[in-house]
Amino acid sequence: MKRRFFVKASMLSGLLAPVSSVVSKAAEFEAAPAKVAPEYYEFRVYTLKDATQQKLVEDYFQQAAIPALNRMGVKNVGVFTEQKPEGQTKLYAVIPYASVKDYAKVVEQLSADKKYQQAGASYLEAPSTTPAYERIQSSFMKAFAGMPRLQVPANKPRMFELRRYESSGEAAGKKKIDMFDNQGEIAIFKRVGLTPVFFGETIIGEFMPNLTYLLTFADMEDHDKSWKAFGGDPEWKRIRAIPGYEDAKIVSRITRTFLVPTSFSQI
């Protein structure tokens, strides 16, 4: 009897082993986070001559562009002015899209949207004698794999720092992106209080190759405190000392701009 029980138990164990293995593999697959496809950002900078142009562009975004984009599924459109402009402020806008195909689709839909065309007529049809703006600088960016989706900060008093890192060549630019994506720089940012809104690699635009990112802070005191913590962080010091990742080798120029959100900005 004992021998018969042992044989049956052995056979059952052998039969269950493959099942157990399959269940284990399925559990691992389920536990692993799904890979999120990176979104894309259209980033615009409006050069304005005076307050009249500023109001015209702001009215366009508030009354026409943002409502239309929201209807088409594009959310979290950010519109900002400079915190301390030299003369007339520039106006900055970031528009997120799920994909390049989504961007093309929305552009086509806007051209056929009568409600949008009517609401934005003063901007869209401004005569050459009194243009709505002096010029638009536009870039198209791909979100970093390490932060594939824009993160909207809490709707409370806040300021932003926009940073653009230019590199001397494509390989150097990719190295800096790898520093954020794979070497842990984004995680350090979040840990020390440098709260990111988005990271984007410019795939079409000026001053390429470059990457651009946006951080948010409660105020300038919070800004200075967080950057000081980052500069003294042991893990950051370790990463920046890795051969080939030194700033002097992968970043040729840093441009930063302090921004404040307009009253209707969704970021």
Helices (H), the chain: 2-31, 51-59, 66-71, 100-112, 114-119, 121-124, 170-181, 185-192, 220-231, 234-240, 247-250
Give the type of residue at 17: A
Binned at pLDDT 50, 70 and 90, residue 8 comes out as very low
Measured distance CA(105)–CA(113) in Å, rounded: 12
Measured distance CA(252)–CA(60) in Å, rounded: 36
Measured distance CA(211)–CA(198) in Å, rounded: 11
What is the 8-class DSSP label of residue 164?
E
Please classify residue 112 by burial: count the beta carbons closer than 10 Å to its beta carbon, then call 0-12 exposed, 13-18 middle and 19+ buried.
Answer: exposed
Task: Kindly report, residue by residue over 113-137, the tens digit of the pLDDT.
Answer: 999 999 999 999 999 999 999 999 9
Q: To 10 degrees, the CA torsion angle through 98, 102, 103, 108?
A: -160
Residue, of 7 and 146, whose pLDDT is higher: 146
Measured distance CA(60)–CA(121) in Å, rounded: 8
| Total Cβ atoms within 10 A of residue 134 | 13
pLDDT at position 234 over 90: yes
- pLDDT score, position 27: 43
Percent of the chain residues topping a pLDDT of 90: 84
Pull the structure tokens for residue 49.
Answer: 């001559």
pLDDT at position 194 over 50: yes
Domain residue extents for the chain: 1-32, 40-261
Topology at the third CATH level for domain 40-261? Alpha-Beta Plaits (3.30.70)
Average of per-residue pLDDT across 161-179: 97
The answer to whether residues 199 and 147 touch, using CB atoms and an 8 Å cutoff, is yes
Task: Kindly report, residue by residue over 20-78, the tens digit of the pLDDT.
Answer: 443 344 344 344 456 889 999 999 999 999 999 999 999 999 999 999 999 999 999 99
The answer to whether residues 81 and 61 touch, using CB atoms and an 8 Å cutoff, is no
Distances (CA, A) of 66 to 40, 61, 73, 150, 265: 17, 5, 11, 17, 9
Pull the structure tokens for residue 144.
Answer: 């970093």
pTM of the model: 0.85
Measured distance CA(96)–CA(233) in Å, rounded: 32
